[in-house]
């Protein structure tokens, strides 16, 4: 199976952007680690990032036919996007929401997530390791569904 790992706005600057909050690893580092983690479970990854809401929605639509699961860090769209929630609601497989930082420890506006209304699990505050934890989780959910 293939896991779509989707990343929202500003995550292209991971490693350079507020490293005191998000760490010094780049998104390319996360992609490499995610691919290795998925490989250990016999799964493959399609790892994508966009700053555009419509692109993330189009990838979720593509995932409907091509993905066994979605891992998504919607970044700021977490807190604003009914459209991404609606797109995820068209997807039948497991969805895990990831946040590098602990959003609950931060500003009030980061405490609410539209995406959590669909997500089967949420990982926040585990740094970039959260992506690997999410992959372990979807591997188990995919195996349980087979």
Annotated catalytic residues are: 22, 99
Asked if residue 15 binds ligand DQA (CB under 6 A), the reply is no
CA 109, distance to chain mean position in Å, is 19
Q: Which of 53, 73, 87, 132 binds ligand DQA (CB under 6 A)?
A: 73
Tell me the two tokens of residue 49.
Answer: 């990032």
Is 86 annotated in some ligand binding site?
Answer: yes
Asked if residue 76 binds ligand DQA (CB under 6 A), the reply is yes
Are 38 and 1 in contact by the 8 Å Cβ rule? The answer is no
Asked if residue 51 binds ligand DQA (CB under 6 A), the reply is no
Please tell me the total number of residues recorded for the chain in this structure: 146
Integer angstrom CA distances of residue 77 from 22, 87, 98, 99, 119: 17, 13, 12, 12, 14
Q: Which of 68, 75, 95, 135 binds ligand DQA (CB under 6 A)?
A: 75
Q: Among residues 65 and 108, whose Cβ is nearest to ligand DQA?
A: 108
3-class SS of residue 130: helix
Residue the block writes with tokens 């891992």 = 71
Asked if residue 38 binds ligand DQA (CB under 6 A), the reply is no
In eight-state DSSP terms, residue 124 is E
The site for ligand DQA (CB under 6 A) is made up of 10, 73, 75-76, 78, 99-101, 103, 110
Which residues sit in the known binding site for substrate? 73, 79, 86, 100-101, 110
Which residues sit in the known binding site? 73, 79, 86, 100-101, 110
């Amino acid at each position: 199976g293939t896991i779509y790992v989707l990343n929202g706005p500003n995550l292209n600057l991971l490693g350079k952007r507020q490293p005191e909050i998000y760490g010094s690893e780049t998104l390319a580092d996360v992609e490499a680690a995610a691919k290795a983690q998925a490989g250990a479970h016999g799964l493959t990854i399609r790892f994508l990032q966009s700053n555009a809401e419509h692109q993330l929605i189009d990838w979720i639509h593509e995932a409907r036919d091509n993905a066994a699961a979605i891992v998504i860090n919607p970044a700021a769209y977490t807190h604003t996007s009914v459209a991404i929630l609606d797109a995820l609601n068209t997807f039948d497989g497991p969805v895990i929401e990831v946040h590098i930082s602990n959003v609950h420890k931060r500003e009030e506006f980061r405490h609410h997530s539209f995406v959590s209304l669909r997500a089967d699990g949420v990982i926040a505050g585990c740094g970039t390791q959260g992506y690997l934890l999410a992959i372990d989780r979807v591997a188990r959910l995919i195996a349980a569904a087979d």
